[in-house]
């Protein structure tokens, strides 16, 4: 298959990392936490100083939508509405986990945050004001260079329409082995594979990437990982690596659409 290039949609910023940092500043201030745009710990402050105490003391997770403490704070998670876009949410551990590079994510007893993030798509659907098919929703974790915060957060939102169209045409050709995706999005290349799971319970994409790719396991911090729902069942996993030659900071969040154009598509099914 000839490699193609999907350009950035009109209005998409050239640096997702800078954009996230600027938007974060306004968001954190609205939550009553002083911060600068360069503060990499604000997400952790919101969860640990606001959401978790409020849930424990008042059974009210504000400013988060949900705090799951069924296994205790060290194994819980919070769901927070991101200030960027109408439909984007973040799934954030209530334990201190810096990011994709954390060895704790590959421990035998590590929580599967991806499964919880997929469940959290219900908040996206509620904000979209319509039912969206599973292949319209994606989850993304950025690399160390492609993020502004040093607390693990999984972006949960609608996928870009161009990505959905491409996967609808080509995902059936994907195998259960990682192979290069036949298209570059915004000039950035990804590996892709199918994943046979309805809801990601029992299958953790962090482990899948580390198990199948020894180079990735030794260098997880420079990788981004994205899971997109596939019809009628399963997921497509996409993984990208930092590449200075193409100005690729491995920010898989670029594959999500925080304007959720799919929610306004009359032909979507």
Q: Which domains does the chain have, with CATH numbers?
A: 13-264 (3.30.428.30)
β-strands 89-93, 77-81 pairing:
antiparallel
Q: Give the three-class secondary structure for 33.
A: coil
- Residue-wise pLDDT for 149-182, tens only, equals 999 999 999 999 999 999 999 988 899 999 999 8
User: Given this model, what pLDDT does residue 6 score?
Assistant: 54
Q: Give the three-class secondary structure for 178.
A: coil
Tell me the helix, strand and coil percentages in the chain, rounded to 5: 35, 20, 45
Residue with tokens 């195998």: 175
Sequence-distant (6+) residues with CB within 8 A of 146 are 16, 17, 224, 242, 249, 250, 251, 252, 253
Distances in whole angstroms, Cα of residue 105 to Cα of each of 66, 92, 169: 22, 13, 33
Gap between the Cα atoms of 252 and 265, Å rounded: 23
List the single range of 11-15, 119-123, 204-208, 254-258 with lowest mean pLDDT.
Answer: 11-15
CA of residue 246 relative to chain centroid, distance:
22
User: Given this model, what pLDDT does residue 268 score?
Assistant: 80
pLDDT tier for residue 15 given thresholds of 50, 70 and 90? very low
Sequence-distant (6+) residues with CB within 8 A of 99 are 141, 142, 143, 144, 147, 150, 151, 152, 221
User: Given this model, what pLDDT does residue 29 score?
Assistant: 55
Q: Could you tell me which of 17, 78, 22, 86 has the C-alpha nearest to residue 224?
A: 17
Gap between the Cα atoms of 243 and 237, Å rounded: 19
Q: Give the three-class secondary structure for 267.
A: coil
Q: Give the three-class secondary structure for 42.
A: helix
pTM to 2 decimal places: 0.88
- Residue-wise pLDDT for 40-94, tens only, equals 999 999 999 999 999 999 999 999 999 998 654 557 999 999 999 999 999 999 9
pLDDT(137) > 50:
yes
Q: Which residues, in sequence order, are bridge partners of residue 188?
A: 185
Torsion, Cα of 7, 188, 240, 24 (10° steps): -70
């Amino acid at each position: 298959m000839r490699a193609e290039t999907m350009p950035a949609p009109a209005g998409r910023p050239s640096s997702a990392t800078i954009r996230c940092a600027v938007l974060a500043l306004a968001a954190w201030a609205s939550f009553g936490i002083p911060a600068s745009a360069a503060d990499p710990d604000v997400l952790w402050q919101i969860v640990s100083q606001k959401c978790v105490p409020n849930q424990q003391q008042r059974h009210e997770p504000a400013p988060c939508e949900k705090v799951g403490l069924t296994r205790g704070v060290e194994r819980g998670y919070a769901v927070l509405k991101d200030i960027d876009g109408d439909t984007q949410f973040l799934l954030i551990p209530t334990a201190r986990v810096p990011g994709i590079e954390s060895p704790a994510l590959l421990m035998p007893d590590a929580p599967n945050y991806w499964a919880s993030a997929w469940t959290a798509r219900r908040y996206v659907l509620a904000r979209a004001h319509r039912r969206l098919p599973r292949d319209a929703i994606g989850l993304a974790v950025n690399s160390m260079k492609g993020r502004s915060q040093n607390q693990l957060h999984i972006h949960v939102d609608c996928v870009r329409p161009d990505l959905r169209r491409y996967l609808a045409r080509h995902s059936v050709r994907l195998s259960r082995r990682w192979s290069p995706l036949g298209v570059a999005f915004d000039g950035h290349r990804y590996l892709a594979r199918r994943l046979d799971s309805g809801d990601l319970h029992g299958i953790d994409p962090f482990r899948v990437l580390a198990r199948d790719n020894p180079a990735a396991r030794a260098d997880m911090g420079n990788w981004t990982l994205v899971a997109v729902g596939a019809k009628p069942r399963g997921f497509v996993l996409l993984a990208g690596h930092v590449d200075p030659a193409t100005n690729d900071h491995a920010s898989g969040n670029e594959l999500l659409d925080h304007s959720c154009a799919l929610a306004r598509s009359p032909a979507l099914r």
